[in-house]
Structure 1
Amino acid sequence: MRALLPMTAALMLIGCASSTMEAARNGQPSARLDSQKAPELVAQCIQFSWQEESRFGVDASGYLETRKGGGLTVYTREAESFVDVYPQAGGTRVDYYARKNDMVALQRKAAAATCL
């Protein structure tokens, strides 16, 4: 019973993040970036850079999942920022989304750009 409560809470958070991301995808990304690297390498690099506590402190989070329609998504807690990473001819396309245009969002975009 005790193990069920944390699992239920985790699934609820994933559901909330997913609906937030789908709503954002209906609009334009905050930035579109291109890379010559493989999508998996770019996504893993972004995930690790967003988990860097020295840069993001307690907000350091980065979760990686495969998209149903293809590609990968890296997102933060509550999907404040996320990227969709897609293969394209000659490399990778990264669509960056942020709920706010604040300093943390700009730092996350810069961290993602270092992975290209």
Structure 2
Amino acid sequence: MRALIVVAVVCFLAGCGAPSMGELRGWGSNQAFGSKKTSSQLSKCVQGAWQSQSAADGSPGSYVQSWGNTGYTVVTKGSHYFVDIDDSPSGSMAKFYVVVSDTIAKNRLSSLQGCL
């Protein structure tokens, strides 16, 4: 997985552009987590946490969009960091994706984990 991220970064720096959200989903998530919260509850928590980070560090803001039949995607402007959140029998499942593993990605992941 890390090799794919490196390839994506090299391609981006070479002017090819960042991979799409669909491409990242096809490659698989960077990390996945289960939560006892519903997908709606978890997506609201993550979006709020990511918005707070944006205000504090000037990183891209975030928004929520529908994903699949019962899920949500919390995504930053530019789609460099996003999490797909779907309902599961025990609550919800969150799949975290990043284009570039940097400090912002680590902060977004930490916020996601704090919401679980």
TM-score class, shorter-chain normalisation, is: 0.7 to 0.9
> Which ranges of 4 or more aligned residues in structure 1 deviate by more than 4 Å?
none
CA drift of 1:70 comes to 3.5
5+ long unaligned stretches in structure 2: 1-17
CA drift of 1:27 comes to 0.8
Query: What TM-score, normalized by structure 2, do the two folds share?
Result: 0.78
Q: Show the counterpart of 1:90.
A: 90
Counterpart of 1:45 in structure 2: which amino acid? C
The 1-side partners of 2:36 and 2:67 are apart by 21
Query: What TM-score, normalized by structure 1, do the two folds share?
Result: 0.78
The 2-side partners of 1:61 and 1:42 are apart by 17
Counterpart of 1:20 in structure 2: which amino acid? S
Q: Report Cα offsets for 1:12-34 as digits up to 9, x if no partner.
A: xxxxx9x7111100011011011
Structure with max Cα Rg: 1
Counterpart of 2:76 in structure 1: which amino acid? T
1:20 aligns with 2:42: no
Q: How many residues align?
A: 98
Say which SS state the counterpart of residue 115 (structure 2) adopts: coil
Q: Show the counterpart of 1:3.
A: none
Q: Show the counterpart of 1:58.
A: 58
Q: Report Cα offsets for 1:50-87 as digits up to 9, x if no partner.
A: 01112xx2214111011244410000011010000000
The 1-side partners of 2:89 and 2:70 are apart by 15
Say which SS state the counterpart of residue 73 (structure 1) adopts: strand
Q: Show the counterpart of 1:33.
A: 33
Q: Where does 1:94-105 land on structure 2 (aligned, <5 Å)?
A: 94-105=94-105
